[in-house]
Amino acid sequence: MSGILAAKVALVTGGRGGIGRAICARFIREGATVYAADINPAGSLQQHNDDGSKFLTLDVACEDDARAAMAHVQKQHGKLDILVNAAGIEIEKTIEDTSLEEWNRSFAVNVTGTFLCSKYALPLMRHAAGDGKTASIVNFGSYDGFIADPGLAAYCASKGAVHALTKAMACDHSPEGIRVNAICPGYIDTPMLQSFFNGDGSGGSGGDIASLQQAVRDVHPTRNYGTPDDVANLVNWLASDEARYASGQLWVLDGGLSAQVQQMKL
């Protein structure tokens, strides 16, 4: 099969979530062999129709799971070209309302998960790099790692940690041909965003969802929020050898939202 990712092997954590599915589908269209790794086959959505990805059960916060997932890929292919650390959770609370357990769970999935999956993927990725090919790790930061949304303290902090980890990993592993970047989405239409809209914290103001969503669109310079496919477009490029010189960067993809100062009602 031809495509920008032909002959590449990819593993996407959170691969059955809203954004993860779009990435898997795109990778498959581009000719890659794709493993969708997630807690269960349906991920954060209700059901899953076969999209050609191979499912792996993986709790990213569990070291044995991470080790086993990479051992499986090693056995099947002997290499891994692309790792996308898309698994993530969001606790919608201030620090005062966040329990230690919730805080630890945020960091376990968003930060430790990125650490563990990358750690056990690296030996496989070294086999993929070389002869003009690069291996690519794409982490999931967030625009919330730069600026805060109210009532998302643990999430904001965990994404800031992913940003710093991305740069550290890029420093350490780019010399081996393994590039490391993070993409930092803004508002993307996913189950996580719908939960934010429906939440009784920062997302809810009593109005109906449709008018809330329109108001959110209107604040964006692009007058819309993003789709999982928009994210997949960027992940696909970063995963490909077209991006062979790109490493250690935090790629904000937010429809121009964070380029603006606060939008007052004047």
- Which DSSP symbol is given to 160? H
- Which DSSP symbol is given to 139? E
Nearest residue (CB) to another protein, 100 versus 261: 261
Among 27, 35, 143, 155, binds another protein (CB under 8 A): 143
Q: Which stretch binds another protein (CB under 8 A): 48-56, 78-86, 197-205, 232-240?
A: 197-205
Closest distance of CB 12 from another protein, Å = 27
Q: Which stretch binds another protein (CB under 8 A): 39-47, 105-113, 165-173, 214-222?
A: 214-222
Helix (H, G, I), strand (E, B) or coil at 168: helix
Phi, psi at 253, each rounded to 5°: -130, 90
Closest distance of CB 89 from another protein, Å = 19
Q: Which stretch binds another protein (CB under 8 A): 61-69, 98-106, 240-248, 256-264?
A: 256-264
- By the rule CB under 8 A, 219 interacts with another protein: yes
Distance, in Å, from the CA atom of 25 to the CA atom of 36, rounded to the nearest integer, reads: 10
Among 52, 123, 130, 150, binds another protein (CB under 8 A): 150
Phi, psi at 83, each rounded to 5°: -120, 125
Cβ atoms 45, 22 nearer than 8 A = no
> Is residue 35 annotated as part of the catalytic site, yes or no?
no
- By the rule CB under 8 A, 168 interacts with another protein: no
Q: For residue 189, what are its two tokens? A: 């239409």
Distance, in Å, from the CA atom of 250 to the CA atom of 143, rounded to the nearest integer, reads: 9
- By the rule CB under 8 A, 200 interacts with another protein: no
Secondary structure element (H or E) that encloses residue 64, with its range = helix 63-77
Among 55, 103, 197, 237, binds another protein (CB under 8 A): 197
Helix (H, G, I), strand (E, B) or coil at 37: strand
- By the rule CB under 8 A, 253 interacts with another protein: no
Contact flags string 5-44 toward another protein, x per CB under 8 A: ----------------------------------------
Closest distance of CB 221 from another protein, Å = 9
- By the rule CB under 8 A, 257 interacts with another protein: yes
Q: Mind giving me the DSSP string for 84-107?
A: EE-------S-TTT--HHHHHHHH
Distance, in Å, from the CA atom of 256 to the CA atom of 238, rounded to the nearest integer, reads: 20
Q: For residue 231, what are its two tokens? A: 């994210």
Distance, in Å, from the CA atom of 12 to the CA atom of 18, rounded to the nearest integer, reads: 12
Q: Which stretch binds another protein (CB under 8 A): 59-67, 76-84, 88-96, 255-263?
A: 255-263
Give the footprint of another protein on this chain (CB under 8 A): 143-144, 147-150, 186-187, 196-197, 202-205, 207, 211-212, 215-216, 219-220, 257-266
- Which residues are part of the catalytic machinery? 155
